[in-house]
Structure 1
Amino acid sequence: MNGVITSIAVVKFVILLLGGGITYIAFKAYLRTGEDSIRVLGIGFGVITLGALLTGVANQFFSLSLARGVLINSVFVSFGLAVIMYSLHIQR
């Protein structure tokens, strides 16, 4: 089981790096263009990344069960994807 927990921590870290990078790039693009859709897109990726970070921390440091962690992470992913979908729908 320790191998699985270590693997989860590694994958969560990779998600944090990639999601943080996407969020940062989207924010820079928003500053450059002023497009609200890009700002909202960055927020959506930020929500997904935040969910991965929070559930990873809760699992590692506060003994949150794996099932609850998956549930909470799924809520963040669902909300983040809804925000991303909205960002693709926004028109000037």
Structure 2
Amino acid sequence: MLPQDLLIVASKTTTLLCGGFVASLAYRAYLRTGSPALRALAYGLAFVTVGGFVAGALHQFAGVTIETGVAVQSTFTAVGFLVLAYSLYARTPDGEADRSVPDGGVGR
């Protein structure tokens, strides 16, 4: 394995572990509060995280080029950011903005 391949594998593994941890925290917060915004946040973070893993796996195990891997990762990242943007505008079933966090999320 070339040094740059080792660096790619290490960074993708770190991204998977850290991103998976943060996405799981967001999902646990969703389960605790029932907030649609937190659910969308968890899914968006998961898309961004999984994209890096899928791209790395395709390159390492399926033999696709780096360019194809970057395209796959970029697609997952774009979809993930769209879901994250949606999470900022999520509404509750009654049509009001999600207010599951007291004081609009501003810490005092």
Normalised to the residue count of structure 2, the TM-score between the two structures is: 0.82
Partner of residue 71, structure 1: 71
Q: Is 1:38 aligned to residue 38 of structure 2?
A: yes
Structure 2 unaligned segments of length 5 or more: list them.
93-108
Query: How far does residue 39 in structure 1 lie from its aligned partner after superposition?
Result: 0.4
Partner of residue 2, structure 1: 2
Q: Kindly indicate whether structure 1 or structure 2 has the higher relative contact order, using CA contacts under 8 Å at least 6 residues apart.
A: 1
Quote the Cα distance in structure 1 between the aligned partners of 2:46 and 2:16.
Answer: 10
Quote the Cα distance in structure 2 between the aligned partners of 1:63 and 1:77.
Answer: 21
Q: Is 1:20 aligned to residue 20 of structure 2?
A: yes
Q: Which amino acid aligns with 1:72?
A: V
Quote the Cα distance in structure 1 between the aligned partners of 2:72 and 2:61.
Answer: 16
Larger Rg computed on CA atoms = 2
Quote the Cα distance in structure 1 between the aligned partners of 2:18 and 2:78.
Answer: 18
SS of residue paired to 2:63: coil
Query: How far does residue 64 in structure 1 lie from its aligned partner after superposition?
Result: 1.0
Question: Which structure has the highest helix share of the two?
Answer: 1
Deviations, residues 22-79 of structure 1 (Å, cap 9, x unaligned): 1110111001111000001000011111111111111111111001100110000001
CA root-mean-square deviation: 1.1
Quote the Cα distance in structure 2 between the aligned partners of 1:7 and 1:82.
Answer: 28
Percent identity between the two aligned chains? 34
Structure 1 unaligned segments of length 5 or more: list them.
none
Normalised to the residue count of structure 1, the TM-score between the two structures is: 0.95
